[in-house]
């Protein structure tokens, strides 16, 4: 941590979301430049984090390609944007525990971002928190309710911020809908969401898809959090029943049993201000996620929800913002071409008129900026870490998201309904 409280930031994980570099080349997705690395380089340019940025992966030989990718696609694209960073492990070294040495190089009050396979989140986050390092972990924070609640306790004990990167909360449409719904729509009655990615993403995720995690953890986590955020203090999930389809993922080389699409049916109790269930008032939610959507749909991710309450309803289609771009392929003069729906509200990758990076208002950027700003204010003793439990998607604020996700996984595995139970302030699954 610098003398003025600005955190040195370590990015744990060097995959698509951090660097935009997958395998040995640029990602084919809508995150060709990555998110975390690009945003941190710009936050450094703006003086919002300490000058040194660090990155750690498991294969030191990958960094040569990442640095070349950053030079060609970021430094040459944007004005005055340095992509310099310190890397772990060194070239020629493969080390699954390299994150430990990288975290050990930090000081209390510094920060890490975790964008790694789901099964690794808990160990990395706990290692950092125990050393008084602030943590931003991608969703799902953990795969089990037990691990999630252990992180809650550890972060509180160490006085650090542990935030889950639920960037949908920073989308202006979602945030506005949330506030309007809470102010005017009354009690939740029904929530339905759908989120997908095209089947070519299974190539990117083949190393862990169906082995370490599933599509519900990866995508349903977005809208489960949105639903719980909209109904916080007013509805409580009671039970989860899951169903899934199979066949497409395994046909492209994923392990046997990998689900293509997972749907969770969740029953809610409507509660009063004391947290007690209101007699005769219940609600249902349906969360569906798929990574076997067809290619050529025009968007990388279909994503929409429909929320019905006692006094009205709201619908949001986040994928199609009314911004279409059609481009012909000169190599296929007669039939070539495509129509794409862009979403610069998430990340704007085109530079401004002076050549500078101009994505500071995207909700993908704002999520990361809010995290480092909160770390700085905590470091300067301007706010306690607990202040952010009502401001940001902290580890404490997102316990029920993990409860629903794990209940869904258990439901699929046991082909039964799983209950979410609250006893003495702690949740468990039965």
Give the pLDDT score at 298: 67
Confidence of residue 30 (pLDDT cuts 50, 70, 90): low
**176 and 97 in a common domain:** no
In the chain, the number of structural domains is 2
Give the pLDDT score at 13: 97
What percentage of residues in the chain have a pLDDT greater than 70? 95
| Position 416 pLDDT exceeds 60 | yes
pLDDT, average across residues 211-218: 88
**Lowest mean pLDDT segment, chosen from 106-110, 242-246, 255-259:** 255-259
pLDDT, average across residues 397-419: 97
**40 and 24 in a common domain:** yes
| Position 208 pLDDT exceeds 80 | no
| Position 339 pLDDT exceeds 80 | no
| 234, 187 Cβ separation under 8 angstroms | yes
Average pLDDT over the chain reads 92
Q: Which domain holds residue 316?
A: 172-344+400-429
Token readout for 347 is 């990340």
**217 and 125 in a common domain:** no
**81 and 14 in a common domain:** yes
| Position 275 pLDDT exceeds 90 | no
Q: Is residue 141 part of a domain?
A: yes
Give residue 304's region: left, alpha or beta (phi > 0; psi -120 to 50).
beta
Higher-pLDDT residue of 24, 286: 286
Token readout for 171 is 């989308």
**161 and 14 in a common domain:** yes
CATH of the domain at 78: 3.40.50.720
d(CA 290, CA 47): 39
**Lowest mean pLDDT segment, chosen from 64-78, 331-345, 401-415:** 331-345
| Position 27 pLDDT exceeds 70 | no
**265 and 223 in a common domain:** yes
**237 and 179 in a common domain:** yes
Confidence of residue 326 (pLDDT cuts 50, 70, 90): confident
- Considering just the CA atoms, what is the radius of gyration of the chain in Å? 21
CATH of the domain at 220: 3.30.360.10
Cα angle 407, 198, 170 (rounded to 5 degrees) comes to 65
**101 and 216 in a common domain:** no
| Position 333 pLDDT exceeds 60 | no
Give the pLDDT score at 389: 96
Give the pLDDT score at 146: 97
* pLDDT per residue as tens digits for the range 223-238: 999 999 999 999 999 9
What percentage of residues in the chain have a pLDDT greater than 90? 77
d(CA 189, CA 198): 31
Confidence of residue 211 (pLDDT cuts 50, 70, 90): confident
Higher-pLDDT residue of 90, 201: 90
**Lowest mean pLDDT segment, chosen from 39-53, 134-148, 194-208, 305-319:** 194-208
| Position 335 pLDDT exceeds 60 | no
pLDDT, average across residues 316-321: 82
Token readout for 196 is 């997908």
Task: List the one residue out of 212, 215, 208, 175 whose CA is nearest residue 194.
Answer: 215
d(CA 42, CA 65): 21
| Position 31 pLDDT exceeds 90 | no
Give the pLDDT score at 196: 92
Q: Is residue 1 part of a domain?
A: no
**Lowest mean pLDDT segment, chosen from 16-20, 30-34, 154-158, 387-391:** 30-34
Go through 231-270 and write b for each residue having 16 or more CB atoms within 10 A of its CB, e for each that does not.
beebbbbbbbbbebebebbbeeebeeebbbbbbbbbbbbb
Instruction: Determine which helix (DSSP H) or strand (DSSP E) holds 151, and give its type and residue range.
Output: helix 145-158
**254 and 224 in a common domain:** yes
Give the pLDDT score at 244: 96
Q: Is residue 228 part of a domain?
A: yes
**What would the DSSP string read from start to end of 286-349?**
EEEEEEEEPTTSSSS--EEEEEEETTEEEEEE-S--S-EEEE--GGGTTT--EEEE--TTT---
| Position 73 pLDDT exceeds 80 | yes
Task: List the one residue out of 252, 281, 254 whose CA is nearest residue 269.
Answer: 281
pLDDT, average across residues 254-281: 92
Cis bond upstream, residue 140 (ω within 30): yes
Give the pLDDT score at 200: 78
**279 and 314 in a common domain:** yes
- The DSSP symbol for 403 reads H
* pLDDT per residue as tens digits for the range 293-318: 877 776 777 889 999 999 999 999 88
Name the β-bridge partners of 266: 240, 285
| 235, 270 Cβ separation under 8 angstroms | yes
Give the pLDDT score at 128: 98
d(CA 81, CA 16): 20
| Position 334 pLDDT exceeds 60 | no
Q: Is residue 250 part of a domain?
A: yes
**208 and 122 in a common domain:** no
Residue located via tokens 């979301």: 17
pLDDT, average across residues 52-77: 96
Q: Is residue 349 part of a domain?
A: no
pLDDT, average across residues 216-225: 95
| Position 101 pLDDT exceeds 60 | yes
**229 and 243 in a common domain:** yes
């Amino acid at each position: 941590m610098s003398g003025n409280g600005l955190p040195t930031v370590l990015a744990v994980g060097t995959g698509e979301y951090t660097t935009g570099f997958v395998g040995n080349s640029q990602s084919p997705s809508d995150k060709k430049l990555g998110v975390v690395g690009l945003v941190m380089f710009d936050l450094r340019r703006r003086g919002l984090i300490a000058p040194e940025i660090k990155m750690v992966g498991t294969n030191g030989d990958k960094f040569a390609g990442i640095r070349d990718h950053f030079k060609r696609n970021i430094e040459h694209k944007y004005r005055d944007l340095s992509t310099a960073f310190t890397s772990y492990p060194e070239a020629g070294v493969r080390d699954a525990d390299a994150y430990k040495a990288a975290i050990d190089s930090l000081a209390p009050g510094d920060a890490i971002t975790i964008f790694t396979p789901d099964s690794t989140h808990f160990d990395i986050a706990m290692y950092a928190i125990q050393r008084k390092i602030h943590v931003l972990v991608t969703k799902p924070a953990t795969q089990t309710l037990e691990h999630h609640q252990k992180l809650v306790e550890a972060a509180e004990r160490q006085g650090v911020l542990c935030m889950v990167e639920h960037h949908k909360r920073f989308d202006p449409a979602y945030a506005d809908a949330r506030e309007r719904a809470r102010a005017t729509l009354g009690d939740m009655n029904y929530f339905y969401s759908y989120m997908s990615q095209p089947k070519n993403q299974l190539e990117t995720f083949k190393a862990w898809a169906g082995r370490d995690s599933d599509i519900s953890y990866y995508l349903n986590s977005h809208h489960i959090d949105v639903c719980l955020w909209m109904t916080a203090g007013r509805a409580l999930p009671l039970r989860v029943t899951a169903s899934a389809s199979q066949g497409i993922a395994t046909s492209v080389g994923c392990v046997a049993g990998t689900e293509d699409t997972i749907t969770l049916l969740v029953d809610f109790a409507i509660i009063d201000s004391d947290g007690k269930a209101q007699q005769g008032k219940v609600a249902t939610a349906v969360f569906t996620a798929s990574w076997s959507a067809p290619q050529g749909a025009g968007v990388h991710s279909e994503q929409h929800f429909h929320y019905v309450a006692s006094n009205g309803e709201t619908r949001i289609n986040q994928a199609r913002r009314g911004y279409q771009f059609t481009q012909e392929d000169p190599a296929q003069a007669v039939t070539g071409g495509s129509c794409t729906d862009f979403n610069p509200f998430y990340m704007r990758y085109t530079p401004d008129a002076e050549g500078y990076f101009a994505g500071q208002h995207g909700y993908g950027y704002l999520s990361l900026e809010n995290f480092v700003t909160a770390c700085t204010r905590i470091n300067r003793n301007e706010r306690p870490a607990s202040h952010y439990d009502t401001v940001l998607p902290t580890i404490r604020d997102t316990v029920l998201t993990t409860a629903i996700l794990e209940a869904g996984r258990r439901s699929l595995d046991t082909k039964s309904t799983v209950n979410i139970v609250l006893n003495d302030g702690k949740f468990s699954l039965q």
